[in-house]
Amino acid sequence: MYCHHCIRSFTGDAVFCSQCGRRLHEVAIIETESGRDAGADSSGESAASMEIDRGHFIDLAFLPQHNEESFEEVTARQEQGPYWPVVVWLTGLASVVAIGVFLFYKHEMNVNENVLRLQVEARAAALSGHYEDALFLLSEASKARPGFIALAADEEQVQHAAELERLSNEIKKRLASGESEAAQSELDHLKSELSGRKEPIYDKLKEKADGYAMELTLLELTDQLESLTTVEEHGEMLNVVNGLIGQQAEALRSRIVDGIRSITLGGTEDMLSRKNFSSAFLAVDKALAWAKDDSELLALKERVKEEKNRYERAEQQRIEQAMENAAEEDLINQTAAVEVVNIEKIIDEFGDLTIQGTLKNKATRPIYAVKIEFSVHDASGEMLGKGTATATPNYIEPGEEMTFTATVYGVYKEDTAVVIDNTTWYLD
């Protein structure tokens, strides 16, 4: 056994070399027949070889013999010998290849940058609606990169947008000539083509489609306006028009409000002539719910209020005159102890009318057990129902107010009048 580093022999149980201190590996010296023959030669060179545990062989001719070169020196001298021209040649070849690869890479990068620039310019032109310019730029880019999938996709998208632009122009012509049905059909086709399209190139086309839809809606509403007869119908149309913009929408909105004013004014005049102030107030308030803050309707409401106040003053004067003529305090207590302050009516979705009234004790003494008999009439004076109600609280001091609530089922009409037919009470 010999050390694989300094070739010093060692015993079989040794772990480290006693000369160099290296960890030992088993190395066996195998003599060949030619070695044994040459053993008698005076040169003393050994032709044996040494086998390492990894299966490699080291020629003993390169091992240190007496005062000859060391193993490392011999190995270094052999490596530096005939290989340096090959190294120089390989280095030059690698440099030439590297320069060629770099130049090719630089050229390809320039082509890519130019293609990307053309693609960006084409997209900008398409977003501006210049589809022909965009197609030209994409064609130039495709010549440089024929297999670029993104360019083909952009070109297909621009061509589609250009076709939709031509369809959009056709719809515009249809609307200008009043061909609403043909315009609607083509608009439906345009919307179907734009459905699900989220790319920015279609944004302008979507805006145009929305504008055409609004124009068609305004045309249809204008045709329907002449057939409307009630405030509710005008109000529903006004709600639709309020969501539209433009001069045409504003003009139609003004016409609808005029219709609401006209209908409300006619109905209010009739109610005032019959001294039906509550219904007149309800009619004006209904109109104001649709046409909020309309100056003419607000003025009409003030007029109704003045008419009501004038009528109430007249009624009050009449009552006072009657009281003076009677000259009897008990006359008031017996005949005018209860005054109707206010009556409100609410009709629900089932056609039932709920009546809420406020009464006042006009007597000079407390009253109690106040009972009201009333009837409900429509605008033509036909009685729709009647009933009775008891006022609360049960005991009312002079000047205090009391209330009553009653329901008449199956009225189904909003324009109604509640008439107090009879009132009974007891004096304290």
For CA atoms 406, 411, 414, 420, give the dihedral sign. Answer: negative
How many helices (H) and strands (E) the chain has is answered by 12, 10
pLDDT at 403 (0 to 100):
93
CATH code linked to domain 336-427? 2.60.40.10
Range from 36-40, 60-64, 141-145, 227-231 that averages highest in pLDDT: 227-231
% of the chain beyond a pLDDT of 70? 79
Whether 105 shows a pLDDT value over 70: the answer reads no
Which structure tokens are listed for 37?
């023959």
pLDDT at 404 (0 to 100):
93
Cα 150 from Cα 122, distance rounded (Å): 12
Residue with tokens 């977003």: 127
Cα 426 from Cα 334, distance rounded (Å): 9
Whether 222 shows a pLDDT value over 70: the answer reads yes
- pTM for this one? 0.38
| Residue-range domain boundaries for the chain | 1-81, 88-224, 231-307, 336-427
Whether residue 253 contacts residue 238, with contact meaning beta carbons closer than 8 Å, is answered with yes
pLDDT at 29 (0 to 100):
43
- For 347-400, the pLDDT digits (tens) are 888 888 999 999 999 888 899 999 999 999 988 888 988 999 999 999 999 999
pLDDT at 69 (0 to 100):
46
What mean pLDDT comes out for the span 269-275?
86
- Ranking 35-44, 122-131, 305-314 by mean pLDDT, the lowest is 35-44
Confidence of residue 4 (pLDDT cuts 50, 70, 90): low
- Ranking 28-42, 108-122, 142-156 by mean pLDDT, the lowest is 28-42
Whether 94 shows a pLDDT value over 80: the answer reads no
Whether 54 shows a pLDDT value over 70: the answer reads no
Kindly report whether the peptide bond that precedes residue 398 is cis, defined as omega within 30 degrees of 0: no
